[in-house]
Chain A
């Protein structure tokens, strides 16, 4: 390393939240990702939150074209990308306008003055220049003409004005690396790999990165702008990497297929924010993975069903609008009792909704969204790394019970990254799929395992076991088409019972934090895990009897959930939707669950959860114990 960051005296911080923001063409996602990678390699725990517009290149300088990336890193275990940024990097007036309200009072603000032209100020709706009108008084400000300094730093490479200007994100990254004592090696390596075909451009970007770093070292930084060090976090021993939810889910599916000893077929149609699942799996052909970019959402799920009929594990991935289109076909997989995994990376709805924003929009659609009584298994991942485990669990349940399984994640998990302790495949018990090969007495395709109620799975090509299946109702004892009224009722009950019994094969309801019988339990599912866990911890630190219960199994619900929830004085259900789990809990368990909704396309902040929990608790009292939990 050319210039070590270690020789200077740095102020120690235990945690920092930085938000990078700029035009959607400014490369803020890349800057954030590279900062996160370098930070992870330095041993900090971290969580990220990319927030970008739906437009690929919105007109420059506009408010709706602002793209942001927040990273929270610390010397201790953290679970969320942080509430308010300590540091805001704003590449233009529009980015400043959108993000300044979020910056902590007294926080550090780094602005690119080069972009503060009168045209850009107009576009952002500023009537006076915030650089001069006192807007910045509550903050510690580092105002630099990053645009001009970047052009200077790459002048020797003769790039042309546009390409040269694009290097400013790396210049900024270089400066941030200096301020927070990060190493540049991994980013330099990444730049050279990315621009391998154009070494001149690669070296220009490296030069910009180094120039930003040198600027930090040599320039006299204004009062209040310090340089910092965030020591390593104390993480459990092991080998770590950063991982995003979509990569984790893709790899979990591959691991699941391996444990099931089945080839994996992934049929998908591009949709935000699920497309990167397709991209990740398309690179894994050597793992007996075939990806199929179908002509539409329906063909994507239909092809997966065809592959499952053929004896592979068929998987499809999409977001809420895609699930809506796949619904009829999912019903076919339920009726024909074929294994199928449906990954729903949720986003804001209804309809096209908010494609790039996060929302827990599809719980109702997942659990109840089909014609007929059509039960399936619904799982939800809690963190980016948890997506890996949910991918495995989905394949296990789908193949063991011959049923579709829906895995709910969301945009926040899909794009967010966290350090992840890499598990070993040795730690997972294999669950080889069983294809019937010998003709049993009285064979028909809807013969069932008496315990799991799973029907037999026969691969076409197997002699003596030829059979026909379809979406029409089948006779329970023959597998032939049946319109018999009593049979339809029996089959409907059977399909429901098969799914209900899966509760015996998944963990019982347990509290993530706290003890039964307290004043209030906060029940969450999906990506709100980290925010709820930390909020509950903060309220508990003040001595209140609050607990946290997190659901990974949404259908069937885990055993013991009703009695556990009933032991609390209050049940609070925070959700990033208009109240879906809360209705499901009330309907299924007859508990007085109360909603707390946030439908802004943004994740919960810890602080807003803390204040809502405290509001509900009211003044501390010893006379409000919960009902004693029954054994």
Chain B
């Protein structure tokens, strides 16, 4: 950014702490993407705060040279909300995981999104509990074999994007750890006024290795990745398949282009359409990536808080404590 007199680089956002994720962990790539994105946004380390919960992902703040708060399991959205209300001018990022946000912190996740507090929340989804050594998580597929589910998990998973849409989130995006587009997604999230939710598919090489290979592998990936662009038809990265609305079922069908299907029949992405976002958010064979939904017109929570404070002060209400204590009926004893 030209208006920033200091030219900052990735290095300015790296702390002096040794990064302690397992070798090959997807978190390294996400950290690098963030450190790359922040200087391009024009962020400064002093005005940026990373707030995290508990889990592998939540060690993230220690590796940033910004302000950081590694809090307790599931509660980062609530702590970040308090921080943002008290200090609306700060640039606040919440770092969380599938267990942290969708299990123990599910309630706070829901309420952060519905309030539309002006911050970014990045959910590292590796479909497993890493830090506690490999139990199934709320996003694990049914049948996942783990120490706590030796013959396969029986819990139905949730789709994070759908939880977010259900909670009335106004910005929902998805990427994956090693994708080149990730810094761009973080920038889009940052630019959004309100809560910007980004799910990052993240590989855990120790407890759930390869769970997203179909989507992230260089060979198979292009057939399964669908990068969304506002106003453009929905086509997979290999240009072979697309999404078409089936008017009879009101579902989205994955169709192969050329076999009697032309591009003009495909759905065109409208990121302001929450119904469309819902339809494409949890497809069986194709992963919609990029910005699924964006509604920048929604009221922002911290703005509304400040507006009420401003109104109270403008209304001429005295901020004199003595006057407060003398309000109502009083009497004198002499």
A positions within 8 Å CB-CB of B? 37, 40-41, 43, 186, 235-242, 251, 254-255, 258, 263, 265, 267, 284-288, 290, 292, 294-296, 298-299, 302-307, 309-312, 314, 328-329, 332, 336, 421-425, 459-472, 480-481
Contact = CB atoms under 8 A, between A and B. Distances in A.
A466 B46 contact: yes
A329 B75 contact: yes
B203 interface: no
Nearest to A264: B86
Interface in B97-113: 107-108, 110-111
A290 B324 contact: no
B15 A306 contact: no
Contacts of A459: 87
A241 B308 contact: no
B248 interface: no
Q: Lowest 7 CB-CB distances: which A-B pairs, in order?
A: A470-B70, A306-B82, A303-B82, A468-B68, A285-B312, A302-B78, A299-B78
Contacts of A37: 329
B82 A462 contact: no
Given A285-B312, A468-B69, A254 B331 contact: no
B326 A41 contact: no
B186 to A, nearest CB: 19
Contact of A295 (B72, B110, B331): B110
A304 B70 contact: no
Q: Is the interface of A mostly helix, strand, loop or mixed?
A: mixed
B66 interface: yes
Contact of B17 (A255, A290, A294, A480): A480
Contact of A255 (B45, B64, B321): B321
Interface string B231-251: 000000000000000000000
Given A254-B321, A466-B45, A306 B81 contact: yes
A104 to B, nearest CB: 29
B17 A302 contact: no
B85 A422 contact: no
Contact of B86 (A298, A306, A425, A481): A306
B322 A424 contact: yes
B82 A469 contact: no
Nearest to A314: B82
A261 to B, nearest CB: 13
Nearest to B318: A286
B78 A287 contact: no
B65 interface: yes
A463 B319 contact: no
A422 B325 contact: yes
A298 B85 contact: no
Contact of A239 (B69, B89, B326): B326
A242 B70 CA distance: 45
A305 B82 contact: yes
A471 B17 CA distance: 17
Interface string B70-97: 1110010111111111110110000000
B108 A299 contact: yes
B85 A265 contact: yes
A453 B100 CA distance: 34
Nearest to B76: A302
Contacts of A285: 308-309, 311-313, 317
B288 to A, nearest CB: 29
B333 A236 contact: yes
A183 to B, nearest CB: 12
28 contacts: A40-B329, A41-B329, A43-B333, A235-B333, A236-B333, A239-B326, A241-B326, A241-B329, A241-B331, A251-B324, A284-B324, A285-B308, A305-B79, A305-B82, A306-B51, A306-B81, A307-B86, A310-B87, A314-B86, A332-B71, A422-B325, A459-B87, A460-B47, A460-B87, A461-B87, A468-B70, A470-B70, A470-B71
A462 B84 CA distance: 16
Nearest to B315: A286
A251 B82 contact: no
A422 B328 CA distance: 12
Nearest to A313: B86
Contacts of B332: 238-240
A433 B110 CA distance: 35
Considering residues A303, A421, A422, which has the most beta carbons from chain B within 10 angstroms of its beta carbon? A303
Contact of B46 (A242, A332, A461): A461
Contacts of A41: 329, 331
Contacts of B107: 295-296, 299
A302 B108 CA distance: 10
Nearest to B326: A422
B67 interface: yes
Nearest to A240: B331
A305 B72 CA distance: 11
B329 A310 contact: no
A424 B321 CA distance: 9
A254 B86 contact: no
